[in-house]
Structure 1
């Protein structure tokens, strides 16, 4: 303990403060950190303690040396030890930072106890909302992975549902097809409360009676290229034709079918109500 205090107070000879307490001990610490890196992974708490302790140790080394250098300056009048100490400190700091960072990279990554499948489902479920009120099921938000499964479960719990209400800008076309299939199987009516665009229109057209609330809109456009990037064998033209066949089977006119995919992925076409009714997309008002 006395050795630690005498260095801290600058009472050690300058050569000892620099070569022993500074260079030699710092080299041992860095060698120790290098050895620890070979036994990774390391606990985050252990690395935090080691880095914190070494930071205090580096402060002890530096202050003790500079106090010895100041004492040397008073006795001999030489500023060279001070400049040498500054250069050595800069080198020591950078060397220590690199080793601290290397240790941090060796820490055990945080692993959730939640299974990946549940984490993935929770992530996608946060993009949409499905709920049932009486005879109506409401779908809002992005149609994401898991939406078909969730709707199937919801319909089993609420077998009296007769209508699906939509407010969505689209999403995953494969999930939209799955939802559309459920709407067909359950013979549900479809109703748009505000907006139904892109993949959402597949769900809407699957309805028996298809209605729009006042001011609600249907939007159509060509499929996005990012689908092809995620699925290398994804043929955009073939997928669009597949859905065109489905829309045709639901009574949509050929003239309308020729127009629906002409808008680019970053554009959207909103036909007016009269055009939608004439094309057989929306059920005509009695």
Structure 2
């Protein structure tokens, strides 16, 4: 049996160490966090890579031994050992990352989709059986205007929006209110309609309170005050006072709308609401 002579050390360094390991590391890096492999396949690939690494060590060591017998220096040999050490640790790290990624539960949900789902869980929008009434309850939050727009577009027969809400995001409330006004929809309150919810109510063409229902008003407050230093609450209140005024609410009533501190609520009586023009039949 003829045994092949070891390659010259420089050739072995590049052919047996650098080139194969570079290909493997590049492939692992490209697949990291992208390609999710079955665990059994991963174990097989790790075993195969370990055999390749062992082959690299043996081929380089054979060339190193031959190099030493020819009275060659140690510089390239130590360089090869260093490449083996660094590439070995890199391989272990990348394979470990592949195992961690494979063990994670699969999810195709984008962050934006997740936030939309979480916000949508804070309120309910539902149609009546005949499609003439849209019921809104819960918190006015991000995404509400978009969902309401889609529902109104898909249901041109809608006549009434029923409201039960403690309020929420004023900009979303304005968006929904403008939709209600543009479509000429009627509004009805069941239970409490407070804070930003009153904008939705006042946007209605005809407006009424169900038995026991209440409207609650107070001054605006910032949920994240220090993060929005340039937001002028007085100007924001003036914008909504103008909206109320355009919907026929009396000036005497508007003078009291934002008198109550944000920590409390003012519930006008049904008679006060009627006199102010809040209720329209």
Deviations 1:10-47 (A, max 9, x none): xxxxxxxxxxxxxxxxxxxxxxxxx89x958954966x
Go from structure 1 to structure 2 and tell me whether the alpha carbon gap of 1:115 and 1:125 turns closer, same or farther (over 3 Å shift).
same
Q: Which residue of 2 aligns with 1:28?
A: none
CA deviation profile, 1:78-105 (whole Å, cap 9, x unmatched):
xxxxxxxxxxxxxxxxxxxxxxxxxxxx
Alpha-carbon RMSD across the aligned residues, in angstroms, is: 2.8
* TM-score, normalising length: structure 2: 0.62
CA distance, structure 1, for counterparts of residue 95 and residue 186 of structure 2: 57
Which SS does the other structure have where 1:178 is aligned? helix
**1:261 is matched with which residue: 255, 258, 261?**
258
Residue-by-residue CA offset, 1:95-118 (whole Å, 9 max, x unaligned): xxxxxxxxxxxxx99884311111
Equivalent residues of 1:206, 1:250 under 8 A apart: yes
Tell me, yes or no, if structure 1 residue 167 matches structure 2 residue 164.
yes
Judge conservation of contact 1:228–1:235 (CA < 8 Å) in 2: no
Matches within 5 A, 1:157-236: 157-236=154-233
Matched, 1:125 2:97: no
State the partner residue of 2:153.
156
Structure 1: runs of 5+ lacking an equivalent: 1-34, 47-107
TM-score normalised by L of structure 1: 0.61
Residue pair 1:192, 1:213 contacting (<8 A) in 2 also: yes
Q: Secondary structure in 2 aligned to 1:122?
A: helix
Distance 1:41 1:270 in 2: 64
Q: Report how many aligned residue pairs link the two structures.
A: 192
Secondary structure at 2:193's aligned position in 1? strand
